[in-house]
A = this chain, B = another copy of it.
Amino acid sequence: MATEVIKSKIRDVPDFPREGIIFKDITTVLRDPKAFSHAVDMLADHFKKHKIDYIAGIEARGFIFGSALAYKMGKGFIPIRKPGKLPAKTERVSYELEYGNDSLEIHTDAVEPGKNVLIVDDLLATGGTAEAAIKLVKKIGGVIVGIAFVVELEFLKGREKLPDDCKITRLISF
């Protein structure tokens, strides 16, 4: 019931980013104050009993949900970014895309070793980005509490790419 409010606000955009793909547009969730705050509140409620030190958001839509969640839960926010965007010393992990590959970076000193990190992104699709984000947090010594998504595209089987011991949470699935 509760997630239906959010789901009903997701807009299907045909042929984006290319022909034949129906893109799940969450900007129509964000612009609706009730749906947006409901998504953040549901994630906060889900993790309220977990020991969390930091919330890491994956650029760029993961920043939107991740930072609101960090604010709501009173935690620090860590940006995981595209290459060349973070100014200080970084660790980098590359991952494969359907065509070519991409990388993500995190500041080497973003998290003190042993601290608990919850990773947030808007969408779990093929899982490559999420897998890279998990590797990055571990690389700098963070402990993964879990990884949370607003939407999971189940038919793409992204969760099969994530470590067995990683707790995966998602509000909505298609």
Contact = CB atoms under 8 A, between A and B. Distances in A.
B77 A64 contact: yes
A23 to B, nearest CB: 5
* Identical copies of this chain, number: 2
Interface string A54-86: 100101110111011011101111110100111
A142 to B, nearest CB: 12
B13 A31 contact: no
A11 interface: yes
A72 B31 CA distance: 14
A135 interface: no
B68 A31 contact: no
Q: Which 3 A-B pairs have the closest CB atoms?
A: A68-B71, A31-B76, A13-B87
